[in-house]
A and B are shown apart, each in its own frame.
Chain A
Amino acid sequence: MSKAALNAKAQIIRLLVPAGKAAPSPPVGPALGARGVKSMDFCKEFNARTAHIEPGIPVPTLITVQPDRSFSFVTKTPPTAYFLKKAAGIEKGTGRPGHEVVGTVSLKHIYEIAKIKATDQHLKHLRLEAIASTVVGTAKTLGIQVVP
């Protein structure tokens, strides 16, 4: 195989970017710049696509950079842990899950969070019940107690 064919692989970058607030140097700039992507282009397009989301909320994105330096990206729903921490009113999860409880959340919260996550592309084949049980699992690792 020629060297050109070996270099022809798409690079994938995973980032957690605050909605509507892209283009800061530390997280986004070097990660993209190292792959040869103009960060301003990405940030403009990202902010346009996340305009419907409350600014500041972390949005996981998957950026695929082709060998010719063109890029495309996919945005997903905010992390489950973010929703749970907001619902329980805490800043950080516990350092000792299973031993410490730092917050409480109701099953109704779990239902609404699962409804949001169900809109994600990589989860849409699952039953809502299955998604809800994964949300309960995340709550367990955060040290958030789920009550009926």
Chain B
Amino acid sequence: MSFVHAFRQQLRLNAFWAPRRCLATQSSPAAAQAKADSGSASSSPKSGEPAVAKSSCAENTVLVGVNYLKGQPEVLAMPDEAYPPWLWTLLQPKEIPDDGPGGKGEKIRLRKANRQRIRDQNFMKTQ
């Protein structure tokens, strides 16, 4: 990549993160770039592709402790497909939706940033 290309890319990124005066939503230049790059290179995934790669817990493993009732038979793990699809996304970080300025996503992001700033300030006071 030439220096000029990298410089222009940096300028676009900086311009994006500057406070916006227009209300129209803008797709991030990095995301647009990535989409343009990947669209030509890789094919889109098949619609029937399972979201979970492989669970570490094989079918019919005994789940210890779940049978807390008297005389309850042992609870066995079911095959991966028997579990709801949201289960496999539990460990991924929560995605905050981007509904543009004034939406719920902005509120969540601002509050998160505020709380982190307070934590950092409190930490710096101990130093």
Contact = CB atoms under 8 A, between A and B. Distances in A.
B68 A54 contact: yes
- Give the interface size bracket for B toward A: 20 to 34
A108 B57 contact: yes
- Give the interface size bracket for A toward B: 20 to 34
A106 B55 contact: yes
A99 B45 CA distance: 37
B70 A136 contact: no
Is chain B's interface secondary structure helix, strand, loop, or mixed overall? loop
Contacts of B91: 107, 136, 146, 148
Given A54-B69, A133-B90, A146-B91, A87 B77 contact: no
Is chain A's interface secondary structure helix, strand, loop, or mixed overall? helix
A87 B53 CA distance: 23
A52 interface: yes
A86 B66 CA distance: 8
Contacts of B113: none
Contact of A111 (B54, B70, B83): B83
A109 B66 contact: yes
Given A87-B63, A136-B91, A78 B68 contact: yes
Interface of B: 52-57, 61, 63-70, 72, 75, 77-78, 83-84, 86-88, 90-91
